[in-house]
Amino acid sequence: MTAAPTIETRSRLSPDEVRAAVRLVDEVTDTDGVRPLSEHVMLHLRYGGDERARNFLLWDGDDLAGYAHLDTTDAVEGASAELAVGPSYRGMGYGRALVDALVHETSDRTRLRLWAHGTGSGAADLAHAMGFKRERVLWQMRRSLFAPVPEPRWPDGVTVRTFTVGQDEQAWLEVNNRAFANHPDQGVWTLDDVLMREREPWFDPAGFFLAEKDDRLVGFHWTKVHGADPAEHGGHAHEPIGEVYVVGVDPSMQGKGLGPALTLRGLQHLRMRGLSQCMLYVDETNTNAIRTYERLGFAKWDVDVCFLQQ
């Protein structure tokens, strides 16, 4: 007789548990064509977890059949979770068991939010089946880099340079958190979040552009390249794609055209690297940003959806 599956919960993971969870996520990504966990969760997973969050490990015997990450640190959005179930363990109720465990963990504090990545996500089907309702949508937009990229038009007095590691972190963080003060994800970054990304293989200060005026940082465009490192996809080769990772403008300079100019400067950089496509994420409710990106040649490609427990 096969032993019943077990779920273990902890804040930090051992190196063996990290490897098992990353391997499971890579299998899900290869099967579904979309990574089941956000970049933020994958970063913390690869570094063993976060004392402020919880990792849920669902074991089928000695095999890791499912993984979930629970973040309860967001005072605005409340508890949010993401999960993955191995392809060979689907249809066995393991996804529902993970969600039940997540709901139980948060029942005395708040209603759970569950993220589903991609329109064909099994997490979306599970959320619907368990009575969760669609609450927030992130668009993934894409643009061909074979198409021409216009020259940026800079506001008067603005100069642009690239990021210097060990020098610009704190100033960048302050502008980022002012620019995204009302954003539930980007506006609550800490210095540790920046330093963690600097350790990632994809980090490249040559693609991290800072706009200054009167010797003060007033905006930025941080680009990223996906797929250049095979380890990002479990050792499998993928065609690299560029990303408008974060574009931010200090409130004192908003409405002056600095955001579009910074976006174009980053696109020029990605195009010069020989990439064929560029992607970005934007909240569906941010219609001004969507219109700006559409004018720059981007179009809707896919969505990530946040579901709220009812």
In the DSSP assignment, the letter for residue 23 is H
In tens, the pLDDT along 78-120 reads 789 999 999 999 999 999 999 999 999 987 767 899 999 987 7
Residue 111 contacts residue 309 (beta carbons within 8 Å): yes
**Closest listed residue to residue 246, CA positions, set 195, 177, 196:** 177
pLDDT of residue 253: 96
Quickly list DSSP for 257-310. SHHHHHHHHHHHHHHHTT-SEEEEEEETT-HHHHHHHHHTT-EEEEEEEEEE--
pLDDT at residue 1 greater than cutoff 50: no
pLDDT at 236 over 60: no
Q: Strand pairing of 277-283 and 241-249?
A: parallel
What pLDDT does residue 209 have? 98
Q: What is the dihedral of CA 283, 286, 288, 294, to 10 degrees?
A: 20
Amino acid in the structure at residue 113: R
| CB of 249 closer than 8 Å to CB of 216 | no
Look at residue 215 and tell me whether its pLDDT is greater than 80: yes
pLDDT at 233 over 50: no
Per-residue confidence (pLDDT) for residue 122, from 0 to 100 = 83
Query: Tell me: the pLDDT tens digits for 161-203?
Result: 999 999 999 999 999 999 998 877 787 889 999 999 999 999 9
Which pLDDT value is given to residue 307?
95
DSSP H helical segments within the chain, as ranges?
Answer: 15-32, 39-46, 94-106, 122-129, 169-179, 191-198, 258-272, 287-295
Torsion over CA: 15, 21, 23, 29 (sign): negative
pTM of the full structure: 0.87
Q: Which of 124, 123, 209 is nearest to 162 (CA)?
A: 209
> What's the sign of the alpha-carbon dihedral 183, 185, 186, 188?
positive
Check whether 74 has a pLDDT greater than 70: no
| Distance, CA of 183 to CA of 186 (rounded, Å) | 6
Question: Is the pLDDT confidence value at 282 over 90?
Answer: yes
Average pLDDT score over residue span 278-285:
96
**Torsion (CA) 64, 85, 72, 220 in degrees, nearest 10:** 110
Q: Domains of the chain (ranges plus CATH)? A: 6-131 (3.40.630.30), 141-302 (3.40.630.30)
Q: 126-166 pLDDT, tens per residue?
A: 999 999 999 999 999 999 999 999 999 999 999 999 999 99
DSSP state for residue 253 in the 8-state scheme:
G
* Beta-bridge partner residues of 60: 63
Give percent above pLDDT 90 in the chain. Answer: 77
Give tens-digit pLDDT for 28-44. Answer: 999 998 999 999 899 88
Residue 270 in tokens = 């990605």
